């Protein structure tokens, strides 16, 4: 299932709102999409840019949508994922859990 553009835009706005403008040079919240799965990531600038130019990423949450448009939110737990909540609105699920 392709992620609808309105969901992509809502996720982008939600991620941008997590980090104050003054901190965005060093930290960002972003997301990746793989099929029907969205992973919310905490992205950090390299501590020593002269040695490493890539930002690090740590998963904060995962959203999965089924063919009927029903979303499930998962949280990372001990190297795996734990189901935490379900609903029709992925942004409402993220807001209720506030991962960042």
Residue 41 near residue 32, CB atoms below 8 Å: yes
In the prediction, which pLDDT does 2 show? Answer: 79
Take residue 64 and report the two structure tokens written for it.
Answer: 């999965």
Parent domain of 77? 5-97
What residues pair up with 64 in beta bridges, in sequence order?
Answer: 37, 72
pTM: 0.88
pLDDT digits (tens, 9 = 90+) for 63-73: 999 989 899 99
pLDDT tier, 1 (very low <50, low <70, confident <90, very high otherwise): low
Domain count, the chain: 1
Residue 26 has pLDDT above 70, yes or no: yes
Q: How far is CA 88 from the centre of its chain?
A: 17
% of the chain surpassing 70 pLDDT: 94
Residue 45 has pLDDT above 80, yes or no: yes
Pick the residue with more confidence: 51 or 19?
19
In the prediction, which pLDDT does 99 show? Answer: 47
Stated length of the chain = 100
Phi and psi at residue 19, to the nearest 5°: -120, 125
pLDDT tier, 100 (very low <50, low <70, confident <90, very high otherwise): very low
């Amino acid at each position: 299932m392709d992620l609808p553009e309105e969901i992509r835009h809502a996720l982008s706005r939600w991620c941008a709102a997590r980090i104050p403008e003054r901190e965005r040079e060093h930290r960002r919240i972003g997301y990746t999409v793989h099929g029907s799965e969205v992973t919310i990531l905490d992205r950090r600038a390299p501590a020593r840019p002269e040695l490493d130019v890539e930002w690090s990423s740590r998963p904060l949450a995962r959203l999965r949508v089924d063919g009927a448009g029903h979303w499930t939110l998962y949280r990372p737990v001990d190297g795996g994922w734990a189901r935490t909540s379900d609903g029709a609105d992925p942004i409402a699920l993220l807001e209720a859990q506030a991962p960042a």
